[in-house]
């Protein structure tokens, strides 16, 4: 078991526990930071049949009074309608300001629960119990919460930090290889940004047997960045490495290409562009591309630079004429660069050059 502490804005801090068996002991762990109260566990139709009863029992045994709320699995549950129904469910259960929401699931459940917890009664506490690798290494840490609007992803939300994060690595065993690869893309991204040890697990280790290390390395890096810049005015933008092309790729594929797989292509593109522009040694670039491919992730982009740049510009809603792009300088260090939106096409073109 690994225990890390994230210091949230305002000096508050919260524990992030990663280890085997936590779904059985979460009641005890949570009762060490919150007095027994009413809790609402929020989960989805894939996760609930696997893990909800174990978590419910653990919390009940620790003295909590437990309600549950299960939503349909999938991104569709990050909607205003599902969010509204969850708020009504909190009210129906007579949850008060001192009660607790528990997000048991992937990033969809974490984002939905965090947003509802942040709004209900102007904010109640919540904990994250991530059950996907993507959520464990990324979504569950850092306090970004949101639902989607018709106009786009994550357009309604707020910053609301959890009071604890409990990741039972055993629950990740029931993910598909595709879902594991989605999480791997964000972990590799973190390695390139600032953690060569994490990168090397993906470059020549066996990440599936080192999940505790993978998650704690990723959490350590993200915690450091979030502590320094909780609301993304500066260094937190680094976490967007590969994401400008990725968002365009997801949209152009009508979301058939999943986020993690799109991020992998985005990482490959920013790597090639960084080599072409002389920021990154070509052998380090080759190592990054090999590492992405070694972990069952794509490095070839099926779209053209021009159409991607157009989509990316719409994505930014003309709010800004400039955009911050992130480029690797070596494995473990990246640079932020502000460029004009009009320069995106050339950047993407550099990122596509020489791909197989």
Residues 19, 25: Cα–Cα separation, whole Å: 11
Which of positions 139-158 make contact with ligand NAD (CB under 6 A)? 139, 142, 144, 154
Min dist CB 354 to ligand NAD, Å, is 29
For 84-93, which contacts have Cβ atoms below 8 Å and span 24 or more sequence positions?
86/42, 86/112, 86/113, 86/116, 87/116, 87/119, 87/120, 89/40, 90/40, 90/116, 90/120, 90/124, 91/120, 93/38, 93/40, 93/67
Q: Kindly tell me which of 104 and 273 has the beta carbon lying closer to ligand NAD.
A: 104
Backbone angles phi, psi at 43, to 5 degrees: -145, 180
Q: Which of 30, 70, 109, 265 binds ligand NAD (CB under 6 A)?
A: 109
Contact window for ligand NAD (CB under 6 A) among 25-33, 108-116, 189-197, 325-333: 108-116
Return the SS3 of 37: coil
Size of the site for ligand NAD (CB under 6 A): 29
Which of positions 23-62 make contact with ligand NAD (CB under 6 A)? 44, 46-47, 50
Min dist CB 80 to ligand NAD, Å, is 14
Contact window for ligand NAD (CB under 6 A) among 81-89, 90-98, 105-113, 285-293: 105-113
Q: Which residues contact 239 (CB under 8 A, 6 or more apart)?
A: 189, 193, 222, 225
Q: Which residue is nearest to ligand NAD (CB)?
A: 107
Q: Which of 182, 250, 284, 350 binds ligand NAD (CB under 6 A)?
A: 182
CA-to-CA separations, 32 to 21, 126, 155, 285, in angstroms, rounded: 17, 14, 35, 46
List residues binding ligand NAD (CB under 6 A): 44, 46-47, 50, 73-75, 78, 105-109, 111, 131-132, 134-135, 138-139, 142, 144, 154, 171-172, 174-175, 179, 182
């Amino acid at each position: 078991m690994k225990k890390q502490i994230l210091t949230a804005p305002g000096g508050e801090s919260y524990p992030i526990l990663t280890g085997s068996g936590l779904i059985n002991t979460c009641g005890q762990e949570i009762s060490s930071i919150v007095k027994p109260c009413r809790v609402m566990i929020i989960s989805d139709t894939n996760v609930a049949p696997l893990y909800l009863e174990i978590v419910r029992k653990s919390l009940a045994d620790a003295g909590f009074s437990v309600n549950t709320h299960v939503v349909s699995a999938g991104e569709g549950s990050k909607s205003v309608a599902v969010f509204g129904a969850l708020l009504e469910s909190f009210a129906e259960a007579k949850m008060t300001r001192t009660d607790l929401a528990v997000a048991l699931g992937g990033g969809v459940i974490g984002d939905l629960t965090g947003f509802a917890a942040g709004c209900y009664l102007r904010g109640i506490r919540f904990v994250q119990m991530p059950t996907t690798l993507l959520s464990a290494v990324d979504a569950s840490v850092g306090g970004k919460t949101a639902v989607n609007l018709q106009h786009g992803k994550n357009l309604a939300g707020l910053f609301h930090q959890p009071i604890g994060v409990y990741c039972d690595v055993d629950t990740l065993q029931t993910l598909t290889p595709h879902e594991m690869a989605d999480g791997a893309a964000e972990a590799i991204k973190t390695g390139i940004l600032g953690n060569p040890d994490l990168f090397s697990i993906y470059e020549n280790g066996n990440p599936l047997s080192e999940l505790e290390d993978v998650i704690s390395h990723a959490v350590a890096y993200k915690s450091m960045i979030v502590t320094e810049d909780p609301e993304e005015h500066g260094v937190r933008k680094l976490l967007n490495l590969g994401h400008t092309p990725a968002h365009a790729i997801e949209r152009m594929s009508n979301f058939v290409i999943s986020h993690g797989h799109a991020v992998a292509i985005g990482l490959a593109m920013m790597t090639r562009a960084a080599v072409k522009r002389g920021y990154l040694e070509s052998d380090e670039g080759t190592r990054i591309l090999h590492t992405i491919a070694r972990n069952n992730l794509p490095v070839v982009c099926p779209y053209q630079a021009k159409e991607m740049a157009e989509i990316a510009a719409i994505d930014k809603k003309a709010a800004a004429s400039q955009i911050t792009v992130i480029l690797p300088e070596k494995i473990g260090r990246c640079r932020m660069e502000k460029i004009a939106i009009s320069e995106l096409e050339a950047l993407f073109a550099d990122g596509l050059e020489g791909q197989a």
